[in-house]
Every structure is written in structure tokens, then in C-alpha cells.
């Protein structure tokens, strides 16, 4: 007895419109990304991300429908839990499932995960990353085209009263009665990838330039903190690194509990900060700028933009807290310097 696949009837009729919708978003994304303007790149990156998420969810949905249709022939599917998670709202779960299904490599998956996180920052926090955003948008679009080109829908169907979006019509080469040919979607993705003309070398250089700028800023912050407010108050840069971590830690439960458990007997926060600077096991106790500059050089030597992005993001994540501490401490020193200058001027 033939098993009837219900997927054919409910889903096929919508598949061509689904593919057209994905291409419509990618075509619009390319239009904005191609301007190389920050705000256009921001919008293009968001459109690219949305197209990827649509297809990631579709991959999971199709797998679920196939398993239900052919349950008796595939009762022991090994990744049922991952499939259930992918059908939920988690982008990471959808991406993981696509990797399980062999739809995307670990390297490309990592890039998509990083740039999806950036997309969320751009949307929810408003951060713009002006210096690198055009190149990241290019990289994301190029990666998306390669991923989407591997997607093969379970089937196509067309109803005469359906209408393709105007932007998507140019990508479908079939007759009016059935506008899509089997390879049209894949060919469209390849066409979009070529039109994007992503420059891997430029992306690596952009990431390295931005990382170098961040390191130079931190170098200046350390100089400001080490210089102190008063003549004779200068300190070594290593000490400045420790102090800028110890002072905020002294106001936290973590720092206070650590001090209590290790026998601190001081009386005030100033003494606690000094004690923490001498006793707390900070991960960073020395001036990191020289080491960071070497990381910049290594990043600049990369040929693969996916590896470069991973190294860049790893550095930014690992140094986030110390960079924030350096910025805040340097800002406080400059505020105090300005106050003393105004005081001496009688303001």
C-alpha cells in the first residue's frame, strides 16, 4: 500500500511563493548592501539574516513533515530533540539542526551565528559598528547565498491565481503556466552571490583595522590611568591594569565575599580596592597592549574571512570587560583633571 504524503497537498502549493519571498528579500538586501553606506548596510544585513532564518526554519519544518509522513520507515530518527528545538523560536537551535542535516559547514555556521548576534545588537541596541559594517554585510550576504543555494525544496507546485513578487520574477525562468524551473532558486542564489562580489581580503583588512583601532584606544586609556591626577601620583602601566579592575570589584558582592573569605580586615572601600589589587586572582595583571598588537598582526595575515571574523569576535568578547573598565577609569581621571583645572581658574 502506498503511503500518501500530506506534505504534497498543503505545502507544495506555497513553496514557490516561499522561495520567491526569500529571493525578494535577498534582492532588496543586495540593493542596499551595494551602496556601501552604513545605514543601508545595516538594513541589508538585517534582510539577509531574516532570509537565512526563514530557510533554517523551513529545513526543520520539512524534516518534521517527512518524519510524520513516513513514520513507520523512520521510527528511530536520532535527532528528534534537536528537531523539536529547531521548530521553536531559537535561531541557534535552527542553525544547529541545519548543521546536523549537513546543510552547512561548521565554519559557515559559526559565521552566521556571529553575524546573527550582530544583527540583534543593531536592531535592539542600535549599535552600528560603522567602521566594519559594510564589509560584514558583504560577508553575511555572500555566506547566505552559498547556504541558500544548497537548499532543495521538497517539491514545487503552482496555482494559477498565485502571483510572484515583482522583485523575484526575474529569477524564475519558466513559462507563465508554471514560472519556476527546478534549478531557478539555486541559480538565483549563485547570481546574487556573483553580483555581491564580496572581497575577502578587504573584509580581513577591515576587521584588522578596527581591532587595531580598539587596541590603540586602550593604549591611550592606560596612559591616562597610569598618569594619574596629581604630580607624583603616576604608576606603572601594569599597576594601572590591576587598579582599574580592583576598584569596581570592591563595590560588588563577589569582591566583598572574596575578601571576607580570605581574611581581609580593612575598614573602607578604598582599602578593600587596594587589598583586592594585591590579592584577587585577576586574569589580566599585566599591560596587554603588546600582546594585543601581536593578535592584530596575526588577524591581518589571515586569508579566510570566516577565520578572521571568528578571531576578531573572540578577541572582542574576551577583552570586553577590561576594555570597558579601562574606558570608565580613564574617563573618571579626565573628569577629575578637568575639575581641578576649572578650580584653579576660579570657575
Concatenated DSSP letters of 196-246: H---HHHHHHHHHHHHHHHHHHHHHHHHHHHH-SSTT----HHHHHHHHHH
CA atoms within 13 A on the CB side of 298: 12
Q: Is 259 found in the same domain as 313?
A: yes
Residues 162 and 213 in one domain: no
Closest CA to 36 of 129, 130, 127, 134: 134
> In the chain, what is the greatest distance between 2 CA atoms, to the nearest angstrom?
97
**Banded model confidence at residue 100, pLDDT cuts 50, 70, 90:** very high
Query: Phi and psi dihedrals of 6, rounded to 5?
Result: -65, -20
Q: Is the pLDDT of residue 3 over 70?
A: no
Domain co-membership, 160 together with 57: yes
Span between the terminal Cα atoms of the chain, in Å? 94
Write down the H helix ranges in the chain: 7-10, 12-33, 38-69, 80-86, 91-100, 106-120, 133-149, 166-169, 184-196, 200-227, 237-249, 253-261, 269-279, 289-300, 305-318, 320-344
**Domain boundary pick from 196, 230, 248:** 196
Residues 159 and 11 occupy one common structural domain = yes
Backbone angles phi, psi at 54, to 5 degrees: -60, -45
**156: containing domain:** 7-196
| pLDDT number for residue 5 | 42
Between residues 194 and 123, the one the model is more confident about = 194
> What are the Cα distances from residue 28, in Å, to 47, 237, 289?
8, 50, 42
pLDDT-derived band at 4, boundaries 50, 70, 90: very low
pLDDT, tens digit, for every residue of 199-256? 999 999 999 999 999 999 999 999 999 987 655 578 899 999 999 999 889 999 999 9
Task: Please report the pLDDT score of residue 75 as a whole number.
Answer: 67
Q: Which pLDDT value is given to residue 340?
A: 78
Q: What is the mean pLDDT of residues 34-50?
A: 95
pLDDT above 90: residue 130: no
Least confident window among 61-75, 178-192, 193-207: 61-75
User: pLDDT digits over 264-277, tens only?
Assistant: 888 888 899 999 99
Quote the pLDDT of residue 69. 79
Angle at 322 between CA 321 and CA 326, to 5 degrees: 120
Q: Which of 196, 219, 239 is the last residue of a domain?
A: 196
Do 115 and 167 sit in the same domain of this protein? yes
- If asked whether residues 211 and 301 sit together in one domain, one would say yes
Q: Is 188 among the domain residues?
A: yes
Same domain, 311 and 240: yes
* Within a domain: 1: no
3 state SS of 184: helix
Q: Are residues 110 and 250 in the same domain?
A: no
Average pLDDT for the chain: 89
In a domain, 59, yes or no: yes
Looking at the fold, whether 34 and 167 belong to one and the same domain comes out as: yes
In a domain, 2, yes or no: no
Query: Which of residues 167, 196, 225 is at a domain's end?
Result: 196
Same domain, 172 and 240: no
Give dist(CA 115, CA 138) in Å, integer.
11
Count of the separate structural domains present in the chain? 2
Asked whether residue 181 falls in the same domain as residue 37, the answer is yes
One domain, residues 223 and 272: yes
Amino acid at each position: 500500500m502506498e503511503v500518501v504524503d500530506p506534505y504534497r497537498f498543503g505545502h507544495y502549493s506555497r513553496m514557490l511563493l516561499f522561495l520567491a519571498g526569500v529571493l525578494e528579500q535577498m534582492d532588496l538586501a543586495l540593493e542596499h548592501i551595494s551602496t556601501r553606506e552604513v545605514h543601508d548596510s545595516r538594513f541589508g544585513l538585517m534582510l539577509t539574516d531574516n532570509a537565512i532564518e526563514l530557510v533554517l526554519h523551513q529545513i526543520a519544518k520539512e524534516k518534521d513533515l517527512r518524519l510524520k509522513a513516513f513514520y513507520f520507515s523512520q521510527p528511530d530518527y536520532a535527532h528528534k530533540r534537536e528537531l523539536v528545538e529547531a521548530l521553536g523560536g531559537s535561531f541557534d537551535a535552527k542553525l544547529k539542526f541545519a548543521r546536523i542535516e549537513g546543510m552547512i559547514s561548521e565554519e559557515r555556521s559559526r559565521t552566521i551565528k556571529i553575524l546573527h548576534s550582530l544583527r540583534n545588537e543593531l536592531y535592539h541596541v542600535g549599535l552600528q559598528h560603522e567602521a566594519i559594517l559594510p564589509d560584514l554585510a558583504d560577508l553575511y550576504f555572500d555566506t547566505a547565498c552559498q547556504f541558500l543555494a544548497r537548499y532543495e525544496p521538497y517539491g514545487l507546485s503552482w496555482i494559477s491565481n498565485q502571483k510572484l513578487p515583482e522583485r523575484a520574477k526575474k529569477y524564475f525562468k519558466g513559462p507563465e503556466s508554471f514560472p519556476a524551473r527546478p534549478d531557478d532558486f539555486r541559480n538565483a542564489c549563485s547570481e546574487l552571490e556573483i553580483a555581491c562580489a564580496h572581497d575577502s581580503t578587504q573584509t580581513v583588512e577591515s576587521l584588522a583595522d578596527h581591532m587595531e583601532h580598539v587596541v590603540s584606544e586602550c593604549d591611550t586609556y592606560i596612559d591616562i590611568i597610569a598618569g594619574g591626577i596629581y604630580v607624583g601620583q603616576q604608576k606603572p602601566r601594569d599597576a594601572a591594569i590591576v587598579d582599574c579592575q580592583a576598584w569596581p570589584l570592591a563595590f560588588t558582592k563577589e569582591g566583598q565575599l572574596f575578601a571576607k573569605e580570605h581574611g581581609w580586615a580593612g575598614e573602607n572601600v578604598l582599602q578593600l580596592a587596594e587589598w583586592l589589587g594585591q590579592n584577587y586572582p585577576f586574569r589580566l595583571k599585566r599591560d596587554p597592549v603588546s600582546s594585543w598588537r601581536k593578535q592584530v598582526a596575526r588577524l591581518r595575515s589571515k586569508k579566510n574571512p570566516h577565520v578572521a571574523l571568528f578571531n576578531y569576535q573572540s578577541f572582542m568578547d574576551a577583552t570586553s570587560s577590561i576594555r570597558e573598565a579601562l574606558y570608565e577609569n580613564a574617563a573618571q581621571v579626565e573628569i577629575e583633571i578637568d575639575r581641578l583645572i576649572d578650580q584653579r581658574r576660579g570657575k
